[in-house]
Amino acid sequence: MVEPGPPGSSGGDSHDGKTRGIKGYFRKRHVYVMGSTMLLFSTVYVWYTSNGTESKVAYITRLMYTKPQILKPSRSDVLTMTPWFAPIVWEGTYNSEILNEQFQRRNVTVGLTMFAIKKYVVFLKKFLETAEMYFMVGHRVNYYIFTDRPEEVPKVALKEGRNVVVLQVQNYPRWQEISMRRMELISNFSQQRFINEVSYLVCVDVDMRFNDQVGVEILSNLFGTLHPGFYAAERQSFTYERRPASQAYVPSDEGDFYYAGGFFGGTVMEVYMLTKKCHEAMMVDKANGIEAIWHDESHLNKYFVYYKPTKILSPEYLWDDNMGRPEILKKRRFLALPKNHAAIRNK
């Protein structure tokens, strides 16, 4: 393989280690193998002046991987692009080595928000342990744990560049209110804190475990996740709020997908706007004595009808084994844990 030489040179291997006239250069090549499909070459060129002192260094990085094929779509069994040109993320549609390289260059930090109020603290250990194995591996991560029981947050060993931040918040008597108030808290903390600490926020339920890689392929300005129960359903079957009196109302002839309340995110600014608007809508409902059928999830779905996500995660990213194992599902990355509602809610 012939590599180009540094700027201004004629290039090629023939100049390795030789001086040319009054100036010469040496080349040091580092080869990193990233996964099985991509090679990352980092070549360092060092020029030397005639008296032997180093004068200039140039870095040339090459990325080598299998070329995409326009005539061979990566998946033909599922929709991979919405009509507003937002990619839908399925296994096989992306190369995580390319994406990791791009995000590492930007030194991105991702905030993962979760709420463990009252008895839901019991879910934290498994959640964090599996997140350390599968969530944004190789990237900087802040786990933001909202809880009313900070002393019950388990200590979990973290890899380098990853931190736990415990945020003490109040609880509410009803589980529905706890779920809905997440919007208010995420919007307040986005404005006060997250905006200074992370680039992206990922907002998830806590009664879950990671089961496979969830990486930077999910990141985009604003993303939502297809609900595992409705990805193949018709519009009329979506459990949107159908009462016009609620701010979450979606008419029967509108809407694209039914999104899960338990996995959304985006840049801090986009998440701030989403959570603020949903919280305000819930406060209007409260004043009018109405609560949307699926609480915060109904308001999230209303928001996404009019503010379209720029990326959509397939149900690989939020699966429940009670839904079986359909052929299209090549990975089950983030799984709902079975829970005894009577024992865990309102406790």
Rank residues 38 and 282 by Cβ distance to ligand UD2 and give the closer one. Answer: 282
Interface with ligand UD2, residue 126, by CB under 6 A? no
In three-state secondary structure terms, 131 is helix
Both tokens assigned to 99: 């994406």
Are the C-beta atoms of 327 and 310 separated by less than 8 Å?
Answer: no
Interface map 247-286 toward ligand UD2 (x if CB under 6 A): -------------xxx------------------------
Among 25, 86, 118, 270, binds ligand UD2 (CB under 6 A): 118
Give Cα 281 to chain centroid, integer Å.
Answer: 25
Task: Scan for tokens 């900070």, then name that residue.
Answer: 150
State yes or no: residue 115 binds ligand UD2 (CB under 6 A). Answer: yes
**Helix, coil or strand: residue 274:** helix
Q: Does 144 bind ligand UD2 (CB under 6 A)?
A: no
Residue 4's φ and ψ, nearest 5 degrees, are: -65, 150
Using CB under 6 A as the binding rule, whether residue 131 contacts ligand UD2 is answered as no
- Using an 8 Å Cβ cutoff, are 204 and 123 in contact? no
Among 86, 116, 248, 250, binds ligand UD2 (CB under 6 A): 116
| 205 makes contact with ligand UD2 (CB under 6 A) | yes
- Regarding 214 and contact with ligand UD2 (CB under 6 A), the answer is no
120 lies in the site for ligand UD2, by CB under 6 A:
yes
Burial of 58 (0-12, 13-18, 19+ CB in 10 A): middle
Part of the chain binding ligand UD2 (CB under 6 A), chosen from 79-87, 213-221, 292-300, 323-331: 292-300
In whole angstroms, give the CA distance from residue 257 to residue 28. 52
Q: Is 183 in the site for ligand UD2 (CB under 6 A)?
A: no
CB of 294 to ligand UD2, least distance (A): 5
Catalytic, 316? Answer no
User: Is residue 302 a contact point for ligand UD2 (CB under 6 A)?
Assistant: no
Residues 217 and 99: beta-carbon distance below 8 Å? yes
Q: Kind of pairing, strands 54-64 and 38-48?
A: antiparallel
- Pick one of 141, 297, 304, 316: the residue that binds ligand UD2 (CB under 6 A): 297
Q: Say which amino acid occupies 14.
A: S
101, 217, 297, 316: the catalytic one is 297
Tell me the site size for ligand UD2, rule CB under 6 A.
22
Single out the residue of 336, 308, 305, 253 nearest to residue 87, CA to CA. Answer: 308
Q: Tell me phi and psi for residue 45, to 5 degrees.
A: -100, 130
Active site residues: 297
**Contact positions vs ligand UD2 (CB under 6 A):** 114-118, 120, 175, 178-179, 205-207, 260-262, 294-297, 318, 336, 345
